[in-house]
Amino acid sequence: VGEKRMSNYKCTKRILTRLFTVFINLVNGCRDVLVVHHQGQLYAMDVRCYHSGGALQYGDIEEFNGRLCIVCPWHKYKITLAEGESLYQAVDDPTAKPLRTYWRSKGVKQRVHKVTEVNGDVYVMLNDSGEAIESDVYQTEKYRRASLKAKPKAKPKT
Ligand code: FES
């Protein structure tokens, strides 16, 4: 995938597999965005995990509490595809047996972007709202260079 000098990115849907990373050059910097095509729906979010810069393009997609999430391959944080919320399992009473857990949200931690399809073309429109979101930290040149060199970790043999 090439780089485009604009804040919106376009590609064709047929080249989208499950996960797809686009590197978008902005006039005043770069933004690396992961585009996810899952069960007919498109999602876009910053490609590096808000927690510690994990490579979300190697994450699995799973449902938790009825919400689709990408699971970061580094420390298994769960991030909702649609909103960028981080989900975790909470307990009221850690001494209770059996332990009762339920899902809670830490709020929006990963910046999500708008992605639309028109006649088979996929458009990503960056969410450049001024409010800081934790994943913004990993959109600097330092992390960008590191992640471009990163290779996927081998899956454990079963
Ligand atoms: S870097 Fe993603 S969970 Fe830690």
How far, in Å, from the CA of 121 to the mean position of ligand 1? 31
In DSSP terms, 21 is beta-bridged to 34
> Which residue owns the Cα nearest ligand 1 atom 3?
75
Residues in the chain predicted with pLDDT less than 70, given as ranges, are 1-29, 147-158
Centroid of ligand 1 to alpha carbon of 75 (angstroms):
5
Q: Nearest Cα to 102, choosing from 134, 64, 70?
A: 64
CA 127, CA 64: separation in Å to the nearest integer?
A: 25
pLDDT at 106: 98
Quickly count helices (H) and strands (E) in the chain: 1, 12
What is the pLDDT at residue 1? 33
Beta strands in 4-155 (DSSP E): 4-5, 8-12, 19-26, 29-38, 41-46, 60-64, 67-71, 78-80, 85-91, 101-108, 112-118, 121-125
Dist. CA 12 → ligand 1 center (Å): 30
CA distances from 33 to 55, 59, 78, 92 (A): 11, 14, 17, 36
Using a 6 Å CB cutoff, which residues line ligand 1?
49, 51-54, 72, 74-75, 77
Which CATH number does the domain 4-147 belong to among 2.40.40.20, 2.102.10.10, 3.20.20.140, 3.40.50.720? 2.102.10.10
Q: How far apart are CA 106 and CA 109, in angstroms?
A: 8
For residue 16, the model assigns a pLDDT of: 54
> Measured in angstroms, how far is the CA atom of residue 126 from the centroid of ligand 1?
22
| Residue 158, pLDDT score | 52
* pLDDT value at residue 147: 65
Per-residue confidence (pLDDT) for residue 37, from 0 to 100 = 85
**Rounded CA separation 145/148 (Å):** 5
